[in-house]
Amino acid sequence: MSNLSDSARSRARRFAPAGTLLVFAVLVCAGLWQMIDWGFNRIYVPEGKSLLLRFKGFPLLGISKPPATPGHFARVDEAGSPLEIGVLERMRGPGRHFYCPLWWERELVDDLVIEGGKVGIVTCKMGDDLPRGEFLVDGTLGTTAQKGILRNVLAPGRYRINPYAYSVEVIGEQVAKSDSQKSGSQEKHAGWVNIPTGLVGVVTSLAPNKARGTLPGIQNKVLQPGLYPVNPKEEQVDIIGVGFSITSVNSNFKRETDGQVLIDESGEPIIADDDSGIRFPSNDGFDIHMDFTAVWGITPEQAPDVIRKFGTTDAVETKVVIPQIESICRNMGSRLGAVELLVGESRMKFQEDTSAAFQKVLEEKDLTLLHGLVRHIYIPLDVRQPIQERFIADEIKLTNEQKQITRKTEATLQEATAKVEYESQRIMVETEKLEAEKIAEGRRTAEETRAETLQKQAAIDKRTAEIQAQAMILKGEAEANAKKLLEQAKAEKLRLAVSAFGSSESYNQWVFATGLPEDLRLHLLYAGDGTFWTDLKGFSDTLLGRQQQSHSAPATPAQ
């Protein structure tokens, strides 16, 4: 056992320098690797940047890797180690990273910042080719599988985007103007679209969207007021006002040099000789001018159809509303004479029929009419003046008739007032008479009641006196009976007392004894031979001595 231990110790002493050298070598290699890793491999990514990596393989070590498929990222295993030579999809964020430049190509890439009021149009450069005729790609960053323009745009914010796979165009609101004979000047909005309150957005799709089931063209669903990121490669938006507008067709008047409107003899303004207002001949050949005002509008549901048919609301007003007003008013007004247009129920019916016809036309064109108002109809003076004079004469006649009716009514009123006054006086006199009768009747009734009351009171007093006399008699009888009974009781008491003592003499002695005072003292004196008078002196001495003793000492019982 001792030999074995010595041999082990000798071997340990022999191998100790080798172990020390091995540990030292390991420490030196570790330090060198740390120097290389931190000084050569380390790369720092600051805030706002990302690290793009491309794996180059290990050619110096003789280890080869296959290249990535063209148009695709290099594949990696579960641990993140590259399996192919090429660009890695995942980019590294801010911080320290360690990648050897011999095996890796390292590039710092700025983050994409999209400010408010702008959007980003993304183009995917990796993946499979789209089918022929298509140019929009479904999906978002990192999930696309085909090349092309992404349908979804990037909203304002900060993004880490791999420039090897995606390119981004940052745009604000884009407005494209188009002029056509049908719609006039029309504006198409895209990018960062702002729809103010009171307006809606009509969307025009430039390509089909299978996910939403939409086809190219104007969509029926509108965008409500708000902010919308719109891809100009996929959609365009027409911003159109909804609600009601007022359109008036007015006639111009002749004016003086100072701008005052000229009026004719009847006080009506003189129409200018131009094409203003609605001008048409009546069926009896007179030149008629008319003003018309329409309160019309477009609902959100009608907005897409307005864009399809007319392009803009201005086109609706100039191509539909104003021409239809003039056409309907001229056609219907030409069927009537000047007098029918001026007075009575025929003018009211013309106004109602014109509004109804105009509403029907707008409904056929998918527009809404709130009010259609015929405001003024200007009749020539040579037609209007005789009619007005006739109506004035009729009004004067009616006025005079009303005055006569008023006078009759006033006379009737005065007569009725007199009758009312007479009846008032009569009723007042009758009321006073009735009041006096009621007062007299009340007084008589009061006296009768008072007499009956006195009579009843006397009867009650009589009855009260009788009762009081009877009570006195009963009281005297009761007192006499009480005294009688008391005396009888006393006599009975004496009888019983005498009976108890056995004789009247004994009872008298008891009464005499009970009547004596409590402090009575009796003294017995003995008298010897002789007479009482001879012993009186001794009695007085004895009595005097007893009295003195009673003052000086307590009394003793008598013997």
Which of the listed ranges 23-27, 55-59, 298-302, 373-377 does the model predict with the highest average pLDDT?
298-302
- Alpha-carbon distance of 11 to 20, in angstroms, equals 15
> CATH classification of 243-379, choosing from 3.30.1370.100, 3.90.480.20, 1.20.1250.20, 3.30.479.30?
3.30.479.30
pLDDT score, position 408: 87
- Candidates 130, 298, 286; CA nearest to 200 is 298
pLDDT score, position 555: 45
- Alpha-carbon distance of 536 to 541, in angstroms, equals 9
- Alpha-carbon distance of 71 to 69, in angstroms, equals 6
- Label residue 557 by pLDDT band (50, 70, 90): very low
- Label residue 543 by pLDDT band (50, 70, 90): low
pLDDT at 266 over 90: no
User: Which residue type sits at 143?
Assistant: T
pLDDT score, position 511: 75
286 touches 379 (CB < 8 A): yes
pLDDT at 18 over 70: no
309 touches 291 (CB < 8 A): no
pLDDT score, position 497: 74
pLDDT score, position 556: 40
pLDDT score, position 273: 77
For Cα atoms 427, 433, 437, give the angle at the middle one, nearest 5 degrees: 140
pLDDT at 303 over 80: yes
- Dihedral angle of Cα 3, 7, 9, 15, to the nearest 10 degrees: 180
Query: CB under 8 Å, gap of 24 or more: what pairs does 318-325 form?
Result: 318/184, 320/362, 320/365, 320/367, 321/247, 321/294, 321/296, 321/362, 321/367, 322/247, 322/249, 324/358, 324/361, 324/362, 325/247, 325/249, 325/278, 325/292, 325/294, 325/358
- The DSSP line for 207-218 is S-BTTTTB-SEE
Q: pTM for the whole thing?
A: 0.57
Mean pLDDT of 403-428: 86
Mean pLDDT of 359-366: 91
Least confident span in 113-122, 127-136, 274-283, 509-518: 509-518
pLDDT at 17 over 70: no
Least confident span in 39-48, 190-199, 296-305, 491-500: 491-500
Mean pLDDT of 243-265: 84
Mean pLDDT of 106-133: 89
- Label residue 521 by pLDDT band (50, 70, 90): low
513 versus 179: which is more confidently predicted? 513
- Alpha-carbon distance of 340 to 347, in angstroms, equals 6
Q: Which residue matches tokens 């695709």?
A: 72
- The DSSP line for 10-47 is HHHHHHHHHHHHHHHHHHHHHHHHHHHIIIIIEEEE-T
**CA dihedral over 408, 413, 418, 423, signed as positive or negative:** positive
- Label residue 10 by pLDDT band (50, 70, 90): low
Least confident span in 229-233, 253-257, 278-282, 340-344: 340-344
- Candidates 323, 321, 322; CA nearest to 298 is 321
The percent of residues in the chain predicted with pLDDT above 90, rounded, is 18
Which of the listed ranges 67-71, 181-185, 377-381 does the model predict with the highest average pLDDT?
67-71
- Alpha-carbon distance of 296 to 369, in angstroms, equals 4
Helix H or strand E segment including 396: helix 381-501
- Label residue 544 by pLDDT band (50, 70, 90): low
* Pairing label, strands 148-150, 119-124: antiparallel
For the chain, the residue count is 559
- Label residue 517 by pLDDT band (50, 70, 90): confident
Average predicted confidence (pLDDT) for the chain? 81
- Candidates 255, 213, 211, 215; CA nearest to 235 is 215
Q: Is 472 helix (H, G, I), strand (E, B) or coil?
A: helix
- Label residue 135 by pLDDT band (50, 70, 90): confident
Mean pLDDT of 237-266: 85
189 touches 238 (CB < 8 A): yes
The percent of residues in the chain predicted with pLDDT above 70, rounded, is 81
Least confident span in 180-184, 315-319, 481-485: 180-184
pLDDT at 553 over 50: no
pLDDT score, position 50: 92
463 versus 558: which is more confidently predicted? 463
- Label residue 559 by pLDDT band (50, 70, 90): very low
Mean pLDDT of 255-280: 80
pLDDT score, position 63: 67
Mean pLDDT of 105-134: 89
Q: Please give the structure tokens belonging to residue 424.
A: 């008032």
pLDDT at 494 over 80: no
- Alpha-carbon distance of 339 to 286, in angstroms, equals 10
Q: Which residues in the chain are classed under CATH 3.30.479.30?
A: 243-379
- The DSSP line for 361-382 is HHHHTT-EEEEEEEEEEE--HH
pLDDT at 558 over 50: no
Chain-centre distance of CA 158, in angstroms? Answer: 39
Query: CB under 8 Å, gap of 24 or more: what pairs does 311-319 form?
Result: 311/180, 311/182, 311/183, 311/184, 311/186, 312/183, 312/184, 312/185, 312/186, 312/240, 313/240, 313/241, 313/245, 314/184, 315/182, 315/183, 315/184, 316/367, 317/245, 317/247, 318/184
